Amino acid sequence: MFWNIIGLSAAFLTMFGFLPQVIKIYRTKSVNDISIVTIVQFMAGIFLWLVYGIHLKNFAIILANSVTLLILVAGLVLFIKYKFQKI
């Protein structure tokens, strides 16, 4: 039971760890302090975790990394939108 709580807590924190940044980008419409390399690197790692979870058929890994990847994709889309938006 204790380890399940630890695992679920880790999954929850990871899943929503980038969400405040996405919200900030959306609200400020600014990406000047955001590194595209960091976003892409994080996305690559999460994608590999997702593939690993699919291989293991582990629902918790699949769910956590799918949600995280969706949030990162939203962040990447906003980054591209606001970085290259004409003023």
Contact predicate 87/51, CB 8 Å:
no
57 φ, ψ (degrees, to nearest 5): 60, 40
Our CA angle for 6, 8, 9, nearest 5°, is: 65
Taking only the tens place, the pLDDT of each residue in 34-52 is: 899 999 999 999 999 999 9
Taking only the tens place, the pLDDT of each residue in 9-35 is: 888 898 999 999 999 999 999 998 889
Global model pTM greater than 0.75: yes
Domain 2-83 annotated CATH 3.40.50.150: no
Domain ranges in the chain are 2-83
